[in-house]
Amino acid sequence: MNSEKIFKYLLVSSGVLMVLIALGIVATLFVGSIPSFKEFGFGFLFSTEWDPTEGRESYGALPFIIGTLLTSILALIITFPFAFSISLFLGEYFKDGALPSFLRSVVDLLAGIPSVVYGLWGFYALKPLVAELGLNAQGFGIFTSSVILAIMIIPYASSLGAEVISMVPGSLKEAAYSLGATRYEVVRNVIVPNAGSGIFAGYILALGRAIGETMAVTMLIGNSNNMPTGIFDLGNTMASLIANQFGEAEGLKYTALIEIGLILFVITGIVNYIGKLIMKKLSA
């Protein structure tokens, strides 16, 4: 074989390796959760019990699925006005100059802060504030985690939005201005309808981030295995549960945690896929 051919095989084999890694991850999670699935079946998804007491071990994922969706969707709602403002600021109002490039750098750096540092800051700065406001006795809980998550996903939620807003055709905006529209009216009636689905795709991808976030949530959510009763209640997300309990888990609990990992993997996969699908439609 000449080097030409070897080189081409090398290129293709790297692609094959990617496929193998992905298949390997899926297969590993599947195989790992078989014992748990045999024991609990699909009831695992709907059971609210998480009882590791020996003899009457019983595991269910519902409180953690709900906890995950509650924290991440709440985070998305909190982040929306901020991310949308940044998108508009960078994509429409101030495209060039020192101020927007400063804001752009700050937002980029927000994305660089490690999760565990966000968790620390949340613990020492945000948690006491939440407790002081009387929202919840100690300041831990779903709401506190959501606020931290909201800050963490601002960069992801705003960057795609800024891009699509800046691509709205100038002629459309000028047409609206020439009819006497104010800038706010242009934003509302021209930019949002035009760039809406792109902005939305950015939020979906940010949601995917929030669902998988682990450390900051683990440090703030209170780690309760009961079904959360409201947004100020304590809870656990799928990621924080695994982080907390995987280390010492054995037997049934171990495979139940892998099954939780599988559910988390599938949910983030679906959310990301929807986001990519919207983006693909956009560019087509």
Among 67, 71, 213, 221, binds other proteins (CB under 8 A): 213
Least distance in Å: CB of 171 to other proteins? 21
Within 125-164, which residues bind other proteins (CB under 8 A)?
125, 151, 154, 158
230 versus 280: smaller Cβ distance to other proteins: 280
Binding status of residue 113 toward other proteins by CB under 8 A: yes
Binding status of residue 179 toward other proteins by CB under 8 A: no
Of 38-46, 171-179, 225-233, 260-268, the segment contacting other proteins by CB under 8 A is 260-268
Within 29-68, which residues bind other proteins (CB under 8 A)?
29, 32
Binding status of residue 277 toward other proteins by CB under 8 A: no
Burial level of 209, CB count in 10 A (0-12/13-18/19+)?
A: buried
Among 1, 7, 54, 132, binds other proteins (CB under 8 A): 7
The residues that bridge with 59 in the sheet, in sequence order, are 50
Among 65, 74, 76, 107, binds other proteins (CB under 8 A): 107
Of 38-46, 53-61, 138-146, 262-270, the segment contacting other proteins by CB under 8 A is 262-270
Binding status of residue 114 toward other proteins by CB under 8 A: yes
Q: Three-state SS across the chain?
A: CCHHHHHHHHHHHHHHHHHHHHHHHHHHHHHHHHHHHHHHCCHHHHCCCEECCCCCCEECCHHHHHHHHHHHHHHHHHHHHHHHHHHHHHHHHCCCCHHHHHHHHHHHHHHHCCHHHHHHHHHHHHHHHHHHCCCCCCCCCHHHHHHHHHHHHHHHHHHHHHHHHHCCCHHHHHHHHHCCCCHHHHHHHHHHHHHHHHHHHHHHHHHHHHHHCCHHHHHHCCCCCCCCCCCCCCCCCHHHHHHHHCCCCCHHHHHHHHHHHHHHHHHHHHHHHHHHHHHHHHHC
With beta carbons less than 8 A apart as the criterion, state whether 242 and 254 touch: no
Binding status of residue 121 toward other proteins by CB under 8 A: yes
Least distance in Å: CB of 188 to other proteins? 9
Least distance in Å: CB of 49 to other proteins? 22
Site residue total, other proteins (CB under 8 A): 81
Among 70, 88, 130, 220, binds other proteins (CB under 8 A): 88
Binding status of residue 211 toward other proteins by CB under 8 A: yes
Of 42-50, 132-140, 225-233, 255-263, the segment contacting other proteins by CB under 8 A is 255-263
Binding status of residue 76 toward other proteins by CB under 8 A: no
To the nearest 10°, the Cα dihedral for 226, 231, 234, 240?
90
Within 232-251, which residues bind other proteins (CB under 8 A)?
239, 242-243, 246-247
